[in-house]
Amino acid sequence: MAGVSVSMAALQQAESICQNAIGELNSSTQKLNSRYREAGERWRDDKYKQLGVIINDCSKAMKSPIDELFDCISKLKELEKAIIEYESTSL
């Protein structure tokens, strides 16, 4: 079996990437919804309502990976704890 090496820096970088992805997904969803509302100030017809359905579907799709990213962060933190515990164990 090959040896495996994981650095705390790599785990922290992975957590940061997940946090950034969550932030970007939330920000993009907010911008999309905001621009849709802005369009509604001058455009209120059936096409606007149809666009609203599409915007809603897109927003849901963009937010769907967020729970998985939070789960990933949680697992990365568990791995960090396990590594700290392992490294503090003297044989």
Each domain of the chain, given as residue ranges in start order, spans 25-77
Alpha-carbon distances, residue 14 vs 11, 30, 68 (angstroms): 5, 24, 14
Task: Please give the pLDDT value at position 74.
Answer: 97
The phi, psi pair for 80, rounded to 5°, reads -60, -45
d(CA 55, CA 48): 10
Q: Residues 29-59: pLDDT tens digits?
A: 999 999 999 998 888 889 999 999 999 999 9
